[in-house]
Amino acid sequence: MKILAGEPRPFGASFDGEGTNFALFSAHATAVELCLYDPAGEHEIARLSLPERTHDIWHGYVPGVRPGTCYGYRVHGRFEPHAGHRFNPHKLLLDPYAPRLAGRFSWHEAHFAYPRSDSAQDLAFDTRDNAAWVPKAVVCERSDWCNNALTPLVPWRKAVIYETHVRGFTLRHPEVPEALRGTFAGLSQPAVISYLKALGITTVELLPVHAFIDEYHLFEKGLGNYWGYNTLSFFAPHPAYLGGNDPDEFRQMVDRFHQAGLEVILDVVFNHSCEGNHLGPTLSFRGIDNLSYYQLLPGDRRFYVNDTGCGNTLNIRHPRVMQLVTDSLRYWAGNMGVDGFRFDLATVFGRTEHGFDSAATFFQVVSQDPLLSSCKLIAEPWDVGPGGYQLGRFPAHWSEWNDRYRDTVRRYWRGDSGQLPELARRLHGSGDIFEHAGRRPRASINFLTSHDGFTLRDLVSYNRRHNEANGEDNNDGHRENFSDNQGVEGPSDDPAVETLRRRLQRNLLATLAVSQGVPMLLAGDERGRTQHGNNNAYCQDNGLNWVDWEDGDGSAAELVAFTRRLLDLRRQFPVLQAYEYRHRPNDPHDDGIQWLNGEGRLMRDEHWHEHRNQLLGYLLTEKPDPRTGESRCLLVIFNAAREEHSFTLPAIATPGWRLVVDTADPDAGSGMDAPCLLAPVTVMLAPCSMQILTNCTIEDTHPTAPPSP
């Protein structure tokens, strides 16, 4: 084969109908070899030196190389770890821009650029070839771009997010063909889409789908990385999620979701890579240009900045690394059609030499990009680096996972004292955190559980984490979960304990549904899924993580039906879909929020300081209908006390109040025959329960008032 000069753009492998152009960035390499393989990626058929270098981009054009050809790189340069250089041409490296992979990764000692038995470890140079155990990049046809992300399917205020895992959601699904379970095609089966739509979901957030590998320490223990936060390639879909080996399978899944009116958001991991710390393998970035791609300690560049807790941190401030990240985002939004991204450990993107800055270059690049700025952008607003907790400080067009919401609601329903002021702030959309920067309630992604931590069922069933299966002596995972086991750790045959646990799950789901902001539900929580107390199940690719679709006692169906009712209620009442923060509760021309005490009167300052009080009324009033002059009201009553409490319904609703949800009785209010309660009237709330009422309509007949207790 012959190789011509080619062009420095675009990065990666680009087929033009007659041959393929290859372009790779490396500022410190002395030479780059292109290794071509047969379509199976097993036999090397040519090794060619890239002949040109333009602004640190090595490039060459090979006539006759067509789609389906596999390739990798060998990059020459200095091996001086203390200076930050770890070049080793004995290691075959993956193209960072590869959209498709051939072959599977398997762990082997040859992946390490040093002999692990050497006392000096990574300071020694290893000459073993790793080509037999790494996937190869594949030359692909140029795919057409779409513009789905330019026209969001769902306004933020109407969004209901469902966080799920491609493999775990369908692996046991009886209506998904067995051959498709655990794949993109399986996730987009009609039965799955129908379930999500019926539940009331608008937006599906997928745990990482970029190609990833298992960490070496998990491999040694016989475990694997289930969650996927260990990225190998930022462009290629994870091969195990493809039924075949065609990336278009992902795009087809997105198209099916869009046809059903559902959005797709990807959880993306651009803060670190799978190459780990200075003792990790050499698979791609480390061997291409370690000094450029990673943040290294200034005093000794042998070691890596570890703001992620995963061994390394990508050097997002380097122009080419930032370009890699934004090119990847554009690829998934443009070529693959996704609607948004949730950024893992997103503080990394705003950390500068002077600390976190919401005007950091990465945020500005995204904000001016016509495609990316129109996507839904969600930050996990923390990492383990200095000044890592940045909730509320991201740019205006971003939303953020709100752990303050999570912890407050958990503590309230656990029965902690003094929680009412904090609970009210979280129900209000956390304006105390976000509004100061002119942001809207949609900035707050409200969640009770996520992939990381207890499931909803475990939150009310365990006081302690039970992570022994992870092989870390139960030292991993969150220590403080604000959970409560109701007197029995784990499974219980006590009917009273089981009744209380189910009620608390309904309480938590109902609180999520009536809160201002964007609700996020963890897949399986609506079915009572348990991980048996494991709150860090990242390495458990088994029944501990897979959604169980069986329902022997009917409890899953009951909770699913209750969740549907809650999300339907949220959809029916725009007052729960706040576009802006409400601060004028007494304005008759505006909708607002009022906080009521047990007597049905407005809360006064002294009421908020009654630390033992766990009763609160949350009254939301919509703007009057211009045709009738009438307003719809929604009254939510919270009682976290372990005893029943009375609450006086205020004489605000006309002609009275009708119960729509009672978490102590999941069937109450499910029909339209609930009586109209003429206010003022006193109702009783069971211990640890919620009631949601709305004002009766004129059509409601036979109003009745129950006797006061």
C-alpha to C-alpha distance for 262 and 571, rounded to whole angstroms: 15
Residues with Cβ within 8 Å of residue 554, at least 6 apart in sequence: none
Amino acid at 244: G
What residues contact 647, with CB distance under 8 A and at least 6 apart?
Answer: 598, 600, 615, 617, 637, 639, 682, 683, 684, 685, 691
- Which amino acid, residue 506? R
Cβ count near 298 (within 10 Å): 7
Q: What angle do CA 380, 385, 388 make, to 5 degrees?
A: 45
Q: Which amino acid is at 668?
A: A
Lookup result for tokens 């939510």:
636
Structure-token pair, residue 359: 């005007």
Instruction: Provide the token pair at 576.
Output: 């729960």
Helix orientation angle between 403-414 and 420-427, rounded to the nearest 10 degrees: 140
* Look-up of token digits 């067509």: 66
**271 φ/ψ angles, rounded to the nearest 5 degrees:** -90, -25
Helix (H) or strand (E) holding 330, with range, is helix 319-330
Return the bridge partners of 685, or none: 645
**Could you give the CA distance from residue 73 to residue 8 in angstroms, rounded to a whole number?**
16
Tell me how far apart the alpha carbons of residues 129 and 436 are, in angstroms, rounded to a whole number: 56
Work out the number of other CB atoms within 10 angstroms of the CB of residue 163: 23
Crossing angle for the helix pair 495-514 and 555-572, nearest 10 degrees? 20
Contact 405, 426 (CB under 8 A): yes
Helix pair 403-414, 495-514: axis angle to 10 deg: 140
Catalytic residue among 122, 344, 526, 541: 344
422 is catalytic: no
- Could you write out the DSSP letters of every residue in 370-411? TTGGGSEEEE----SSTT---TT-S-TT-EEEEHHHHHHHHH
- Write down the catalytic residue from 380, 525, 591, 662: 380
Q: Torsion angle of alpha carbons 31, 34, 35, 40, nearest 10°? A: 150
Give the DSSP letter of residue 495: H
Q: How far apart are CA 4 and CA 52, in angstroms?
A: 9
Q: How many residues does the chain have?
A: 709
Asked if 321 contacts 315 with a C-beta cutoff of 8 angstroms, the reply is yes
Question: E strand or H helix at 169, and its extent?
Answer: helix 166-170
Q: How far apart are CA 112 and CA 116, in angstroms?
A: 7
In sequence order, the β-bridge partners of residue 521 are 162
Tokens of 304: 């890596």
d(CA 179, CA 642): 49
344 a catalytic residue = yes
* Half-sphere exposure of residue 645: CA atoms within 13 angstroms, side-chain side: 24
Instruction: Please state whether beta strands 161-164 and 203-206 pair in parallel, antiparallel, or not at all (unpaired).
Output: parallel
| Half-sphere exposure (Cβ direction) of 301: Cα atoms closer than 13 Å | 17
Catalytic positions are: 344, 380
